[in-house]
Chains A and B, each alone.
Chain A
Amino acid sequence: METDSKHEVKHSAEAEQSAGWTRLYITVVVALVVQIAFYVWLTKTFA
Chain B
Amino acid sequence: MSTFDILVLGSTLCAIVFFGVWKTRNDHNLSDFLKGSSNHWGTIGLSVMATQASAITFLSTPGLAYDSGMAFVQNYFGMPLALILIAVVFVPMYYKLELCSVYEFLEHRFDSKTRTLGSIIFLIQRGFSAGITIYAPSIILTSVLGWDMNTTVIGVGLAVIIYTVTGGSHAVSLTHKYQMTVILSGMAVAFGIVVYKISGHASFTENLSIAGALGHLNVVDLSFDLDKRYTLWSGLLGGFFLSLAYFGTDQSQAQRYMSGNSTRDSRLGLMFNALLKVPMQFMILLLGVLVFVFYQWEKPPATFLPDATVEKIADLEADAYKELEEAFMVTFETQQVALAGYVDAMRTGDKVQEEISKVAVQEAGQSIRDARSNLKDHIADVSGEVSMKETDYVFIHFVLNELPVGLIGLLVAVILSAAMSSTASELSALATISTVDFYQRFIQKERGEKHYVLASRIFTAIWGGLAILFALFASMVESLIEAVNIVGSLFYGTVLGLFLAAFFIKRIGGHAAFFAGLVVQVSVVGLYLSNLVQIGYLWYNLIACVSVILLSLILQLFLGKNAALNNSES
Contact = CB atoms under 8 A, between A and B. Distances in A.
B219 A39 contact: yes
A4 B504 CA distance: 11
B208 A31 contact: no
B271 A45 contact: no
Interface string A32-47: 1001100110110111
B254 to A, nearest CB: 16
B217 A21 contact: no
Contacts of B208: 46
Interface in A1-47: 1-6, 8-9, 12-13, 15-17, 21, 24-25, 27-29, 31-32, 35-36, 39-40, 42-43, 45-47
B267 A21 contact: yes
A10 B423 CA distance: 35
A47 B218 contact: yes
B503 interface: yes
B93 A40 contact: no
Contact of A25 (B88, B93, B108, B211): B88
Given A16-B263, A46-B208, A47-B217, A31 B80 contact: yes
B96 A43 contact: no
Given A17-B88, A46-B212, A8 B93 contact: yes
A38 B326 CA distance: 41
Given A36-B220, A43-B219, A46-B217, A8 B96 contact: yes
B536 to A, nearest CB: 19
Contacts of B215: 47
B73 interface: yes
Contacts, number: 89
B480 interface: no
Contacts of B80: 28-29, 31-32
A5 to B, nearest CB: 5
Contacts of A29: 80-81, 84
A32 B278 contact: yes
B359 to A, nearest CB: 14
Contact of B96 (A12, A28, A39, A45): A12
B220 A39 contact: yes
Interface residues of B, number: 40
B506 A6 contact: yes
Contact of A43 (B84, B217, B279, B503): B217
A17 B495 CA distance: 27
Contacts of A5: 93, 108-109, 502-503, 506, 568
Nearest to A47: B212
A8 B275 CA distance: 28
A45 B212 contact: yes
A24 B271 contact: yes
Interface in B218-258: 218-220, 222, 232
B177 to A, nearest CB: 22
B306 interface: no
Contacts of A45: 212
B77 A36 contact: yes
B92 interface: yes
A16 B92 contact: yes
A19 to B, nearest CB: 14
A43 B232 contact: no
B568 A36 contact: no
A15 B263 CA distance: 12
A32 B81 CA distance: 9
Nearest to A10: B89
Contacts of A12: 92-93, 96
A47 B218 CA distance: 7
Contacts of A4: 506, 568
Contacts of B568: 3-5
A28 B88 CA distance: 13
B89 A13 contact: yes
B108 A1 contact: yes
Interface in B493-546: 502-504, 506
A28 B263 CA distance: 18
A5 B181 CA distance: 40
B569 interface: yes
B279 to A, nearest CB: 7
Given A21-B267, A46-B211, A40 B81 contact: no
A4 to B, nearest CB: 8
A39 B88 contact: no
A47 B208 CA distance: 10
Contacts of A1: 108
Contact of A9 (B93, B213, B217): B93
A2 B271 CA distance: 32
Interface in B68-119: 73, 77, 80-81, 83-84, 87-89, 92-93, 96, 108-109
23 contacts: A3-B108, A3-B109, A5-B93, A5-B109, A5-B568, A9-B503, A9-B504, A15-B92, A16-B92, A25-B84, A25-B87, A25-B271, A27-B275, A28-B83, A29-B80, A29-B84, A36-B77, A39-B73, A39-B219, A39-B220, A40-B220, A46-B209, A47-B212
Listed from nearest, the 7 A-B pairs whose CB atoms lie closest are A46-B212, A12-B92, A39-B219, A46-B217, A28-B274, A6-B506, A39-B220
Given A6-B506, A16-B88, A29-B81, 16 more contacts: A4-B506, A5-B506, A12-B92, A21-B87, A21-B88, A24-B271, A25-B88, A28-B275, A31-B80, A32-B77, A32-B278, A35-B282, A39-B220, A47-B215, A47-B217, A47-B218
